[in-house]
Amino acid sequence: MKNIEVCLTPELFSKYNLENKIVVIVDILRATSIITTMFQNGLKKLIPVNSLEEARKYKNNGYLVAAERNGKKVDFADFGNSPFEFTSENILGKTLVYSTTNGTNTINIASKSESVLIASFLNLTSVTNYLKNQQMDILILCSGWKGNYCIEDSLFAGALADSLLNYKKFTTNCDSVTSSVDLWNVAKADIHQYIKRIYQYNRLTDLGFESIASHCFKVDLNEVLPVLRKNYIVNLKNSL
Helix (H, G, I), strand (E, B) or coil at 200: helix
- Residue with Cβ nearer a copy of itself (102 or 200): 200
The continuous run of DSSP H or E covering 179 comes out as helix 175-187
Q: How far is the CB of 174 from a copy of itself (least distance, A)?
A: 7
Q: How far is the CB of 218 from a copy of itself (least distance, A)?
A: 21
The continuous run of DSSP H or E covering 226 comes out as strand 226-229
- Residue with Cβ nearer a copy of itself (8 or 65): 8
> Within 10 Å of residue 82's Cβ, how many Cβ atoms?
17
Q: How far is the CB of 197 from a copy of itself (least distance, A)?
A: 5
Strand order in the sheet with 170-171: 72-73, 64-69, 95-99, 45-48, 232-235, 226-229, 115-119, 21-26, 137-142, 2-7, 170-171
Give the integer Cα–Cα distance in Å for 50 and 98: 8
Where does this chain bind a copy of itself (CB under 8 A)?
Answer: 8-9, 11-12, 15, 145-151, 154, 173-176, 178-179, 182-183, 185-187, 197-200, 202
What value, to the nearest 5°, has the Cα angle with vertex 184 and ends 180 and 185? 120
Give the integer Cα–Cα distance in Å for 37 and 85: 10
- Residue with Cβ nearer a copy of itself (134 or 185): 185
Q: How far is the CB of 201 from a copy of itself (least distance, A)?
A: 10
Give the integer Cα–Cα distance in Å for 167 and 182: 18
- Residue with Cβ nearer a copy of itself (58 or 145): 145
- Residue with Cβ nearer a copy of itself (29 or 117): 29
- Residue with Cβ nearer a copy of itself (71 or 226): 71
Q: How far is the CB of 152 from a copy of itself (least distance, A)?
A: 8
Is the separation of the CB atoms in 216 and 83 below 8 Å?
yes
Q: How far is the CB of 180 from a copy of itself (least distance, A)?
A: 9
